Amino acid sequence: MSQQTSGNNRCLSGLGMASLLILSVLASGCTGRTALSATSPPTATSVGTTNPTPTSASPSVGDVLVPRPAIVWKPIPFPQSRKQEMLAYAQEHYGLDTFSLVQPQVIVEHFTANDEFGPVFNTFAADVPHLGELPGTCAHFVIDSDGTIYQLVSLDLMCRHTVGLNYTAIGIEMVGESDQDILGNPPQLAAALNLTLWLMQQFEIPLRDVIGHNESLTSPFHQELVPSFRCQTHQDWSHEDMEVFREDLAQLATTFGVPLGPAATPVDSGC
């Protein structure tokens, strides 16, 4: 089922502002790890009548506003019943009496371990128990292999994507069989970097708190009250590959004057 998508190994400009900057930042990719595709990123698409993105967060950080990437608003059902399930989960796992995501402090990068957006959407929409509990899993964003960014959940709602961090983390899934797939897929990588940097600026999240799911246990923000969940994590986005992703992200952040913040201080998970 593995299907690695890739560009056509050409590096050229002519894309949008953010993509131009991505191109310049990742220029080394033309001779190094990744060659950028000539494929244009997806054009802007309606995000629907509901505003899925924050309007209150002040983009005060950075010298230049990071352009909001094109985002397709494609919400999964999140009715009152699912909010109540999220509330019960937050009470049990975090001791919090809310289903709201307030001023998120972490961005978690994932990959889907498949090669199609449709089944991912259906899985997140289904709201079926995971690890024996509701609500079902979800992610705020899913980036398809062609670089299309879908937003499935409003950023003011907790979404169950990373044990120990759902109370404060935005989840970004990327369609692909591995993190190497995404690092080798220029349009998808560019979309992921653009989206992540935009979120970093919107919420003033430092680089060190942009992590892979597999790094969740050593995040200083990791909190889990249920002992059987305390050491639970997934293999998606290894530390090694996140170091590559963060290096690209740091270069892009520097281009926009977005502060990187202090060095990472991973904690001992005890797991």
Q: Which is nearer to Zn ion, 238 or 251 (CB)?
A: 238
Residue 174: CB minimum distance to Zn ion, A:
10
Helix (H) or strand (E) holding 110: strand 106-111
**Site membership for Zn ion, residue 213 (CB under 5 A):** yes
Task: Say how far apart CA 269 and CA 137 lie, in whole Å.
Answer: 23
Contact characters 35-74, Zn ion, x per CB under 5 A: ----------------------------------------
- Out of 236, 248, 253, 258, name the contact with Zn ion by CB under 5 A: 236
Omega of the bond prior to 135 within 30 degrees of 0, cis? yes
Per-residue binding string, Zn ion, 78-117, x by CB under 5 A, is --------------------------------x-------
Angstrom distances, CA of residue 132 to CA of 117, 136, 225, 228, 243? 25, 10, 16, 12, 33
Q: Please state the closest distance from residue 9 (CB atom) to Zn ion, in A.
A: 29
Q: How many helices and strands (H and E) does the chain possess?
A: 6, 6
How many residues comprise the chain? 271
DSSP state for residue 16 in the 8-state scheme: -
- Would you count residue 215 as binding Zn ion (CB under 5 A)? no
Smallest separation (angstroms) from Zn ion to the CB of 162: 7
Total of chain residues touching Zn ion, rule CB under 5 A: 4
Closest CA to 139 of 118, 156, 160, 155: 160
Calculate the dihedral angle through the C-alpha atoms of 201, 203, 207, 210, rounding to the nearest 10 degrees.
Answer: -120
Q: Least distance (Å) from Zn ion to the CB of residue 23?
A: 28
CB of 164 to Zn ion, least distance (A): 12
Can you tell me which residue has the tokens 């054009």?
43
Indicate the residue among 179 and 236 with the shorter CB distance to Zn ion: 236
Beta carbon of residue 125, minimum distance to Zn ion (angstroms, whole number): 17
* 208 lies in the site for Zn ion, by CB under 5 A: no
Residue 171, classified by CB atoms within 10 Å of its CB into exposed (0-12), middle (13-18) or buried (19+), is buried
Say which residue the tokens 């060659």 belong to. Answer: 35
Which of 68, 130, 230, 234: binder of Zn ion (CB under 5 A)? 234
**Which residues contact Zn ion by CB under 5 A?**
110, 213, 234, 236
